[in-house]
Structure 1
Amino acid sequence: MTYKALYRKYRPSNYDGLVGQNVIVKTLRNIVKDEKISHAYLFGGPRGTGKTSIAKIFAKAINCLSPIDGNPCDSCEICNLINTEQVSDIIEIDAASNNGVDEIRDLKSKINLAPTTCKFKVYIIDEVHMLSTGAFNALLKTLEEPPRHVVFILATTEIHKLPLTIISRCQNYNFKKITEEQMKIRLDYIIEQEQMKVTPEAIYEIARISDGGMRDSIGLLEQLYSFTDNNIEMEDVELLSSSVSRNDIYQMLLNIVLGKMDHMFKKIDSFYQGGKDFIRIAEDTVVFLKDILLYKKAKDFFKNNYRYDMEEYKDLLDTINEETIYRYITEINGLIGDLRSSTHPKIIFEILMLKLTDVKPSNIELKETEEIKKENIIEVKENIDDVKKETFVETEVESEETLINEKITPVKSKETEDENDTLLNFVNIPLYKKILINNTLATAQKSLLTELKSKCNQLSTFLINKDFKQAATVLLDGKIVGVSDQCVIWSYQYNVIVEKADVLKKEIEKLIENMFGKKYRIINISDEDWKKIRPHYIKIVKEKKQIEILDEIDEEEIKKPVKRKKKSKEIEEAINIFGEDLIEIK
């Protein structure tokens, strides 16, 4: 077979053909020029960023008979032999398939043999993090003090998996992702050499999707070339890469903001039928929301550095505010992990979109609220003279201009003007939970918290108990963060798990009673809410203030419908004129 994959065909044979990694290239060229060649080098970084290519070029450069400014000449006898793969002194080892102690012992048995053709015998060990612990231990001494004629080049995409003893014995080089601009330059060169027809938009999309991996971008270009019969356009890239267009994401977000559920679910169904990747859609949605935020905050920077016109999405820009964008991004990021692990990503994605419809406020809602309030003010002004003084209504009507500016502050009855209105108003959780959390922290005991935390180690044993299996699974996804004599606060990473824990509340409380040997009430909250609540109470304690214990509200009572008292004819008339929010009944 004579055909070579494009990424192999266009693998650079010297430093001049490399894309990016300028700092690393300069350092390695100077090493060759100054003849300060070390015994071991470690190349770490993302896939497709040039680690193996630079390792091969460096191996050739240190053996080249007449290097030019640290670059291999590609014309001497050694360079020609290396280019045609006829040299036995440059050994490439795939650590993924040769990861045992026996392979390393075999390497050690041959390492003392002098090179047959080159000055140095070079061992390039790719994906070195795949070596077993025994193999690493067998390699240590050899790596520290190899023969003079041996150079090791280790390459890995997961440098954090290497033992520190290996890392400390090498010169470390951290490879960065290739930028989209650098990638485009290389793709343009390949397209010209292969005489392909590719639109500029398609090239940029290939570079964006490849996420800094040059090899990925060349591989995708080759696939597209085969798929399109040499006429590659933006739609082809989206079709083959399982991504969606920016316009599709815009339409989906606009439907969410406007509450058009039918249109939104039709769009999601079309993604599913088209075989799109919901993880990628979620990630691309976050990127698009970030772009909108950037456009709102730094319009000039966006126009100078981004290649598309955000004004094309003016409808969305006008209907979504910055607060909503931040909350959308938080919600989507929180569930991307669930999408990755789920066997039904479409369902998780649909639940995510439904959650986004509950996120408020958005600009369109604020505008509608303002219009309603203005209409109410006009109606109040027109009808105020018709209200009888004998009614049991006490209200103050300010000037129309003042009311609009202050957005009409509703009059509250005395029963609701207490601490409960402002209690933990920076978190969006039910009032009964806020009161329970407040009272728990008011009587919290650190020694009891430590004791119960140690007992939580028993949780995994309940997984085999059919009565407690579901409750134990939920509790294992969280942690105990606060405890009093009566209540336990349990915190979870995701709101979805909090909701599930609330549904299983009775089962969880039974499990806790079995585990702790005492009855406790469970309060389920998210990590995000706990991170806001905890500093608030720490501040109170530091200021030596007392946390007031509040009257609890029954959760079941909240769910019961409120029985309204029958209003008199005069009161009904006043409510019709002014609206219920402006009326105080005594």
Structure 2
Amino acid sequence: MEYQALYRAFRPQTFGDVVGQKHVTKTLRNAIVRNKESHAYLFNGPRGTGKTSIAKIFAKALNCQFQENGEPCNECDLCQSITDGSANDVIEIDAASNNGVDEIRNIREKVKYAPSVAAYKVYIIDEVHMLTTGAFNALLKTLEEPPGHAVFILATTEPHKIPATIISRCQRFDFKAIELNEIIDRLQYVASKENLEYETEAVEYIARTSEGGMRDALSIMDQVIAYSNEKITLDDAVMITGGIKSVELNEWLKLIEEKNSKEAFLKYHQFIDEGKDPTRLVHELVYYIRDIILMKHSNEADESTAFFNADDKVLYEMIDVLNDAMVMMRFSVNTSVHLEVVIVKLIEVLNKQREALPASNVDLSHIENQIKSLEQKLQNIESVPAAQKTEKQTRTVSKGKGYSISQIEKVLDRANKEDIAKLKEGWPKVYQHVSDKNLQSLRSLIKDSVPVAASDTHVLIKLDNDIHSELINTNEDKKRELESVISTIIGKSVDVVGVPESSWQQVRADYIKEKKPQPKSQPENDEKKPSDLAKEMFGADIVETRE
């Protein structure tokens, strides 16, 4: 016999075998025992929670001659024919593909005929919310005056799309997401039946990932079994689902707690390089911060737990930031950028907490030491000649801004029009090469970037923001990757220097003013204008002259 998926092989066949939904199974079983069956039922709830399975069990229990306490025997010919889908008196209809008026009219014509073998003719209409308005109107007439031998079971995940006139003629059962412990118990039962070895942490992770859906949990488990060669491990479960281990999430959040934005960004790009989905990362962060709150209130957290000393109010605000990001990412093309912004916003939330602390609780000794140090430096600066002071200020202005003035000057000192023209012409090929090599993090860094200056040995790239510029200048791996791609395209090795778009205009103007003074030997009428000098260095297509 060919292999059958776990969610099909372990589909419940009795009310007692159903995981969760006790309020539904008990009500239906009692209705059968007391002969108080309704002519129409509406099952609604999340996917994979047992709506269609319970509908088929109910159809068997209604028609089984050997049922006991509302449970079908599953051994008679009628029960087995309903189980394998060959029973003529139990009709399953997919409303997603049979949603027109003609299909419902066909039901109306045939429902009046008595069942051939069973006591009741049962119609199970799945995804009933997909019916058209005309089809709903046609179904309404049948539900108003149904024959005594007909039972309708309507199943849907979106009950708000069903007309109120249909809902009012049905007994409505709201299916709930299955509890975590119930899913874990069922997965362990399936693993034991299949003689599979498993790690408890792996089963718990699969149950959490399924988000209350038993079918999703069994499908994920099926994938892990196929990947891990008959043993279910946590590492394999994380690999299959594209998630992150709690330990790695804790390390990442520790970096944010320490306000180490650079390392937090590098950690994030490491996740992206490993193929993690940014949207999934946000979900993981929300759940983990929620777990931190629960662990703190149950005294299970310690100093190794991220945000152990943070107030609950701060954690609530972080969850709000992440929820807003999830909404924005749903409609965004470049989801990676949103998560980069989220890292900065989470650090800002922590800064607000620090600013809100009472003055009496703040240790100001380190600030006093810094002030003394700055006063000493100021006295030393006052003794430096004015020319040296100007040069020093120029070279330190970029500290913390994502670029280095000295590195930029190395490029501009030897810049020429030929090299920048060649690089600009080949820049689309650079971006395409990065995309073809699937270098996701590098592609997000150089997106919307433009080369602005080049020489035989260096190139200057204008990047979208300060963070991207700092990553290119300080992250050796990313820098070497970009330099390798550029050398492949232009045919020679160069060093890459980054400058943020917000600072480029000022940096260029300062360089032209201070590094390229007017030659004294030339007559006044032959002196070059600053605009002409800029055109020689950067090309006439970049420089715009304004009076």
TM range (shorter): 0.5 to 0.7
1:39-61 C-alpha deviation (Å, 9 max, x unpaired): 10000000111100000000000
C-alpha deviation, 1:358, in angstroms: 1.8
Which of 347, 364, 368 is matched with 1:373 structurally?
Answer: 364
- Which AA in structure 2 matches 1:124? I
Q: Say what the alpha-carbon RMSD is for the aligned residues.
A: 2.4
- Which AA in structure 1 matches 2:194? E
Equivalence for 2:265: 265
Equivalence for 1:346: 336
Equivalence for 2:217: 217
C-alpha deviation, 1:104, in angstroms: 0.8
Identity of aligned residues (%): 43
Equivalence for 2:298: 299
1:364-390 C-alpha deviation (Å, 9 max, x unpaired): 99699956425689999xxxxxxxxxx
CA distance in 2, matches of 1:315, 1:27: 46
- Which AA in structure 1 matches 2:314? T
CA distance in 2, matches of 1:311, 1:169: 55
SS in 2 for 1:47: coil
CA distance in 1, matches of 2:76, 2:196: 34
1:128-176 C-alpha deviation (Å, 9 max, x unpaired): 0011111101110101211111100000011111110110010000001
Equivalence for 1:13: 13
8 Å CA contact 2:60, 2:82 repeated in 1? yes
- Which AA in structure 2 matches 1:142? T
Unaligned runs of 5+ in 1: 304-309, 381-586
8 Å CA contact 1:321, 1:363 repeated in 2? no
**Which 10-residue stretch deviates more, 25-34 or 356-365?**
356-365
Which of 304, 307, 313 is matched with 2:304 structurally?
Answer: 313
Which of 321, 332, 340 is matched with 2:322 structurally?
Answer: 332
- Which AA in structure 2 matches 1:191? A
CA distance in 2, matches of 1:242, 1:168: 43
8 Å CA contact 1:257, 1:362 repeated in 2? no
C-alpha deviation, 1:326, in angstroms: 2.2
8 Å CA contact 1:21, 1:175 repeated in 2? yes
What aligned pairs does 1:392-541 form with structure 2 within 5 A after superposition? none
8 Å CA contact 1:250, 1:316 repeated in 2? no
CA distance in 2, matches of 1:227, 1:365: 50
Q: Given the superposition, is the C-alpha separation of residues 278 and 369 from structure 1 closer, same or farther in structure 2, using an over 3 Å criterion?
A: farther
8 Å CA contact 2:56, 2:82 repeated in 1? no
CA distance in 1, matches of 2:306, 2:14: 51
C-alpha deviation, 1:200, in angstroms: 0.2
What aligned pairs does 1:36-75 form with structure 2 within 5 A after superposition? 36-75=36-75
CA distance in 2, matches of 1:17, 1:327: 42
Equivalence for 2:410: none
8 Å CA contact 1:29, 1:71 repeated in 2? yes
CA distance in 2, matches of 1:372, 1:71: 70
8 Å CA contact 2:199, 2:233 repeated in 1? yes
CA distance in 2, matches of 1:338, 1:376: 39
Equivalence for 1:148: 148
8 Å CA contact 2:72, 2:79 repeated in 1? yes
SS in 2 for 1:317: coil
- Which AA in structure 2 matches 1:322? D
8 Å CA contact 1:121, 1:150 repeated in 2? yes
Equivalence for 2:253: 253
Unaligned runs of 5+ in 2: 372-547
CA distance in 1, matches of 2:204, 2:228: 17
CA distance in 1, matches of 2:98, 2:20: 30
TM-score (norm 1): 0.60
CA distance in 2, matches of 1:246, 1:40: 46
C-alpha deviation, 1:185, in angstroms: 1.2
C-alpha deviation, 1:4, in angstroms: 1.6
CA distance in 1, matches of 2:359, 2:246: 28
- Which AA in structure 2 matches 1:188? Q
Equivalence for 2:23: 23
CA distance in 1, matches of 2:366, 2:183: 57
SS in 2 for 1:217: helix
CA distance in 2, matches of 1:377, 1:260: 23
- Which AA in structure 2 matches 1:144? E
1:321-358 C-alpha deviation (Å, 9 max, x unpaired): 33321221121111211112212111111112122222
SS in 2 for 1:313: coil
C-alpha deviation, 1:84, in angstroms: 3.8
Q: Given the superposition, is the C-alpha separation of residues 364 and 267 from structure 1 closer, same or farther in structure 2, using an over 3 Å criterion?
A: farther
CA distance in 2, matches of 1:31, 1:208: 34
Equivalence for 2:282: 282
- Which AA in structure 2 matches 1:332? L
CA distance in 1, matches of 2:305, 2:339: 25
8 Å CA contact 1:184, 1:207 repeated in 2? yes
8 Å CA contact 2:250, 2:306 repeated in 1? no
- Which AA in structure 2 matches 1:169? R
C-alpha deviation, 1:264, in angstroms: 0.9
TM-score (norm 2): 0.64
Q: Given the superposition, is the C-alpha separation of residues 157 and 178 from structure 1 closer, same or farther in structure 2, using an over 3 Å criterion?
A: same
CA distance in 2, matches of 1:79, 1:45: 26
C-alpha deviation, 1:83, in angstroms: 2.9
Equivalence for 1:439: none
